[in-house]
Amino acid sequence: MRNPFAFQCGEFRVRYKDDLALYKVPRVRRRVLFVLGLFFLYPLLATPYYISLATMAAMAAIGAIGLNILTGYTGLISIGVGAFLGVGGYTSAIVTTHLGLPFWIAVPLAGLVTAFVGALFGVPSLRLKGLYLAMATLAAQVIILFVIVRWEGLTGGTAGMSLQRPDIFGYRLASERSYYYLVLVCLIGTALFTMNLFRTRVGRALVAIRDRDLAAEVMGINLFKYKIYAFAISSFFIGIAGALMGHYSRIIGPEHYDIEVSISYLAMILIGGLGSVIGAIFGAVFITLLPVVLRESLNLLTPILPHLAEHFSALRELVFGLMIILFLIYEPEGIVKMWRNLKDYLKLWPFSYSKK
Amino acid sequence: MDFFLQLLVGGFVIGGIYALVALGFVLIYKSSDAINFAQGEFLLVGAYVSLTLIATYNIPLLPAIIITLAFSALLGLAIERLILRPFIGEPVISMIMATIGLASLMAGVVHMIWGTELRVFPPLFSSDTVHMGGVVISPVYLWALAIVVLLLIVFSLFFKFSKTGIAMRATADDQQAAQSMGISVKSVFAVTWAIAAIVAAVGGILLGHINGVNASMALIGLKVLPVALLGGLDSIQGAIIAGFAIGIIENLAGGYIDPLVGGGVKEVVPFIILVIVLMMKPYGLFGKQEIERV
């Protein structure tokens, strides 16, 4: 019982509910809500171009969180994200155009179909691990893309397909702003689900598999079952992201889903921070904005070095590769670690040392 | 029957080049437990450097090739020292991503220097085709095959008998034991990357003579990965056998199945074979089974 005559100092958890909360400290909870509020206010202040950048980053973040479930939390490397995004995008496109189902059914359906395909390509994980499993997902990438290109009757082959922006109560979400809100809500849902997933039995089992798969098996975790879960859950969100992207850009084709897409998603979770939801979001923002920032800085440099802008695509590759290598060498735990270091620094200021 | 033989011979030559490039993967995996996703870019650099030497500076073929190989070896050494050494002993994903980052970096540099359009080597061999019992072969293919077979023999002997080769095998087997026996693991890694870069450059020069050089050549790195895995990542004979097998199978599949589905079969067949084989033999056909204990 709290003494009514004394000032309260520190954090007291007096109910089980407090102990189980996602954010246990009220100040942190308020800060999270404040930041979320800022995200909802953002489109009221920004121009459509900046809203579209944020929308693309948020869609990438959904996919990156999905990949992080598989690669960051469960330790199964996947080089097939691009193709799984494609499965999501094409499922939604096929279901809405050929069957005429509404967007609100098509997108979850795209998630489910991608989850199924992902689980199917997760089956080799029964016997494969490490590099060999990574190659099985690379095979998924190549095989799925081949099917998409060759099954012209269903997917339109290399010509691709066109999609529609969704309707809600007769109102078309055609403006940048309305689609931003839709994607933001999906991202918040994905993040909340994933954060909570790793507080449950299934999530703990996945982390145990990452840390030492044989030890996990000895402790009674059915490796095969949980690895398939990891593939399915991860692919579900990647499929949702793919469907959202398809409806956003309104046109999809095989070239949107090639191996480079897979690699940029791997880069997102590595640069952001493996095994962290907020890290996946940071990474998605970083990789989405990297070419934009590069383009802007090239434009600034044009008066000095006029020929530099011609090499934009080569420079983009160069900077992308350089970023991956520099992050891996100097901050292997990603932006999330840099963010934590910054917070620690501010917390301890003006004392530079910390009790580590 | 002639069609079949034609496909067989073509597949055999391409398979030889696959085997050569796969050798680069196997070498790096054996010594440092990593897959080098930048192998295709090494190929590209080798092809472009030799092309520039021959076409722009008019250096005769043989010196040009020697300079290219020396350059590739230095490049391999530099990359190992600057980029990959911090990753010794790091998790698999760091190693994979580091080489993917390296691939992107190298591709960017190559595109800035040489652009992306197709360039061809000046014709070196007579364009008269050789007829052998109904099979038509251009001399480039015969030369390529001869060079590949020669190199594969040289490397097999090198690993079996030379001191460096034995040190490399020892390092592959157990890094700690090798180090305690006086082998410098670091210099073995350096030699490994140099050799991997050299075999890639040879592959690049040969492929460049067959198909011309452009940016898409780097994709062969990804295509040879299933070859290396199929043979077993740590088996040199495995790489050679799988290289020839995949080359022949994909050429036959391309010849007979492409007309049915409308092309592109060559790209996926190696991966389909890979998935099927890995389901039955998780360490490839000749790979070493790892026994794990808790």
pLDDT tens-digit map of A292-334: 999 998 888 888 877 777 788 889 999 999 999 999 999 889 9
Write down the pLDDT at residue B48. 92
Decide if A320 touches B, using CB distance below 8 A. yes
**Distance, CA of B157 to CA of A256 (rounded, Å):** 46
- What is the DSSP code string of A10-38? S----SHHHHH-SS-SHHHHHHHHHHHHH
By C-alpha distance, the chain A residue nearest B263 is A150
| pLDDT 10s digits, A170-194 | 777 788 899 999 999 999 999 999 9
**Percent share of chain A, pLDDT over 90:** 58
CB contacts of B261 in chain A (<8 Å) are 150
Q: Is the dihedral of CA A204, A209, A214, A220 positive or negative?
A: positive
> Partners of B195 in the beta sheet?
none
Write down the pLDDT at residue B254. 86
**Distance, CA of B16 to CA of A205 (rounded, Å):** 45
Q: How many inter-chain contacts (A to B, CB under 8 Å) are there?
A: 132
Residue type present at position A112: L
**Distance, CA of A73 to CA of A137 (rounded, Å):** 17
Peptide bond into A166 cis (omega under 30): no
DSSP B37: T
Question: What residues have CB less than 8 Å from B110, skipping those under 6 apart?
Answer: B41, B44, B45, B48, B215
Instruction: Report helix, strand or coil for A100.
Output: coil
**Distance, CA of A208 to CA of B7 (rounded, Å):** 50
Asked if residue A158 has pLDDT above 70, the reply is yes
**Distance, CA of A306 to CA of A316 (rounded, Å):** 17
Question: What residues have CB less than 8 Å from A292, skipping those under 6 apart?
Answer: A53
Q: Is residue B110 within 8 Å of residue B213, measured between CB atoms?
A: no
- Nearest CB neighbour to A146, from listed B267, B279, B293: B267
**Percent share of chain A, pLDDT over 70:** 98
Q: How many CB atoms lie within 10 A of CB A284?
A: 30
User: pLDDT band at A228, cuts 50/70/90?
Assistant: very high
If you average pLDDT over each of A34-38, A128-132, A349-353, which comes out highest? A34-38
Decide if A154 touches B, using CB distance below 8 A. no
- Nearest CB neighbour to A259, from listed B92, B101, B222: B222
**Distance, CA of B164 to CA of A73 (rounded, Å):** 41
Residue type present at position B126: S
**Distance, CA of A181 to CA of A173 (rounded, Å):** 10
Q: Is residue A315 within 8 Å of residue A293, measured between CB atoms?
A: no
Question: What residues have CB less than 8 Å from B198, skipping those under 6 apart?
Answer: B69, B72, B73, B76
Query: For chain B, which residues score pLDDT lower than 50?
Result: none
Phi, psi of A252 (to 5 degrees): -130, 150
Determine the residue among B85, B100, B214 to mutate to test chain A binding: the one whose Cβ has the most chain A Cβ atoms within 10 Å: B100
DSSP B121: P
**Distance, CA of A233 to CA of A231 (rounded, Å):** 6
CB-CB under 8 Å, B268 with A146: yes
Q: Is residue A239 within 8 Å of residue A91, measured between CB atoms?
A: yes
HSE-CB of A55 using CA atoms within 13 angstroms: 23
- Nearest CB neighbour to A139, from listed B103, B106, B275: B275
**Distance, CA of B93 to CA of A79 (rounded, Å):** 11
Q: Is residue B44 within 8 Å of residue B109, measured between CB atoms?
A: no
**pTM assigned to the model:** 0.90
Decide if B272 touches A, using CB distance below 8 A. yes
DSSP B55: I
- Nearest CB neighbour to B112, from listed A267, A311, A328: A311
Question: What residues have CB less than 8 Å from B27, skipping those under 6 apart?
Answer: B168, B192, B195, B196, B199, B236
Binding-face residues of B in 25-84 toward A, CB within 8 A: 29, 35, 83
Binding-face residues of B in 203-222 toward A, CB within 8 A: 222
CB contacts of B278 in chain A (<8 Å) are 124, 127-128, 132, 135-136
**Distance, CA of B34 to CA of A168 (rounded, Å):** 50
- What is the DSSP code string of B170-226? HHHH-HHHHHHTT--HHHHHHHHHHHHHHHHHHHHHHHHHHH-B-GGGGHHHHHHHH
DSSP B88: T
User: pLDDT band at A355, cuts 50/70/90?
Assistant: low
Q: Which of A268, A235, A238 is nearest to A336 (CA)?
A: A268
Identify the residue whose tokens are 């890290």: A279
Binding-face residues of B in 238-267 toward A, CB within 8 A: 261-262, 264, 267
Phi, psi of A352 (to 5 degrees): -80, -15
Instruction: Give me the mean pLDDT over the A260-279 stretch.
Output: 93
**Distance, CA of B28 to CA of A355 (rounded, Å):** 41
Instruction: Report helix, strand or coil for A55.
Output: helix
Determine the residue among B261, B275, B288 to mutate to test chain A binding: the one whose Cβ has the most chain A Cβ atoms within 10 Å: B275
User: pLDDT band at A350, cuts 50/70/90?
Assistant: confident
Q: Which of A13-17, A61-65, A74-78, A210-214 has the lowest mean pLDDT?
A: A13-17
Helix axes A48-68, A26-45, angle to 10 degrees: 140
**Distance, CA of B199 to CA of B194 (rounded, Å):** 9
Write down the pLDDT at residue A311. 83
Write down the pLDDT at residue A1. 61
Write down the pLDDT at residue B219. 82
Decide if A128 touches B, using CB distance below 8 A. yes
Task: For chain A, state the CA radius of gyration.
Answer: 22
**Distance, CA of A284 to CA of B132 (rounded, Å):** 57
Exposed e or buried b for every residue in A304-328, given b needs 16+ CB within 10 A?
eeeeeeebeebbbbbbbbebbbebb
Element (H, E) at A161: strand A161-162
**Distance, CA of A187 to CA of A59 (rounded, Å):** 7
Asked if residue A347 has pLDDT above 70, the reply is yes
Q: Is residue B236 within 8 Å of residue B23, measured between CB atoms?
A: yes
